[in-house]
Amino acid sequence: MIALRKSNERGLADHGWLTSRFSFSFAEYQDPEHVHFGPLRVINDDWIAPGMGFGMHGHRDMEILTYVLEGAVAHKDSIGNASTITPGEVQRMSAGRGILHSEFNPSPEAKTHLLQIWIIPEAAGGAPSYEQKRYADDEKRGRLRLVASRDGSDGSVKVEQDVRMYAGLFDGAETATLALAPGRLGYVHVAHGMITVNGQPLAEGDAAKLDGEAALTLADGQAAEVLVFDLPPWRTL
């Protein structure tokens, strides 16, 4: 079964300096039909105005991934990390038993566009930690590049949950297929462009939830950038 979620069906918040689209219930957007999918709890599509951002604030018991699409994010946290995240990089912050951090757009002129992804960890109360890695476009061109996994395989960042997150760039005749083991869930988010998932057309901001499918196939990309999640069962469609 495949269920599509169109971009304009997502939650919306506009704070002036921040515009966000919410794929799942978050803050003032509460939707009992879209709380989480497996352990995938949040995909926030954020646009941050120049020089603006989130001041120091806390998280706990959540795996937080930041994927920058345009611009940059300046990050600081309470365990001593300070870095700038740019397109092509994946930042992983395991909040564990508690962490404080801030996120700002360091540019005085350009907006930042990012995806923030939250994954519910397998266990609560772990030690907070941080990781950041770069994945070149040629590693993602016409294929799904593993960028996050429980075991950190193939140079991916390590998350405390049985998930595998892939990033891919597709155009024209480029295709990729990801097998899904029995009982596993698949989730596709289109960050840029257009693509089909098992023959279903998706545009920028759209998503597809797959349950009971043996595989997902990406094809017919038009300047497409996608994130794909292989998830353990938790909640069905």
pLDDT single digits (tens) 34-91: 999 999 999 999 999 999 998 888 899 999 999 999 999 999 989 998 999 999 999 9
What is the C-alpha end-to-end distance of the chain, expressed in Å?
A: 8
Query: Closest Cα partner for 180 from 201, 211, 153, 149?
Result: 211
Supply the pLDDT for residue 217: 98
Classify residue 214 as exposed, middle or buried by CB count within 10 Å of its CB (0-12, 13-18, 19+).
exposed
144 domain residue, yes or no: yes
Supply the pLDDT for residue 233: 86
Supply the pLDDT for residue 77: 84
What is the rounded distance in angstroms from the CA atom of residue 50 to the CA atom of residue 158?
A: 31
Q: What is the mean pLDDT of each run of 10 residues along the chain (237 residues)?
A: 96 96 94 94 97 90 97 93 95 93 94 97 93 98 98 97 98 97 97 98 98 97 98 68
Domain of 219, CATH number, reads: 2.60.120.10
What one-character DSSP code corresponds to residue 27?
T
Q: Which residues pair with 58 in a beta bridge?
A: 100
What is the rounded distance in angstroms from the CA atom of residue 180 to the CA atom of residue 144?
A: 14
236 domain residue, yes or no: no
Supply the pLDDT for residue 99: 87
187 domain residue, yes or no: yes
Domain that holds residue 31: 2-231
Total number of domains constituting the chain: 1
Supply the pTM of this predicted model.
0.96
What is the rounded distance in angstroms from the CA atom of residue 33 to the CA atom of residue 19?
A: 22
176 domain residue, yes or no: yes
83 domain residue, yes or no: yes
70 domain residue, yes or no: yes
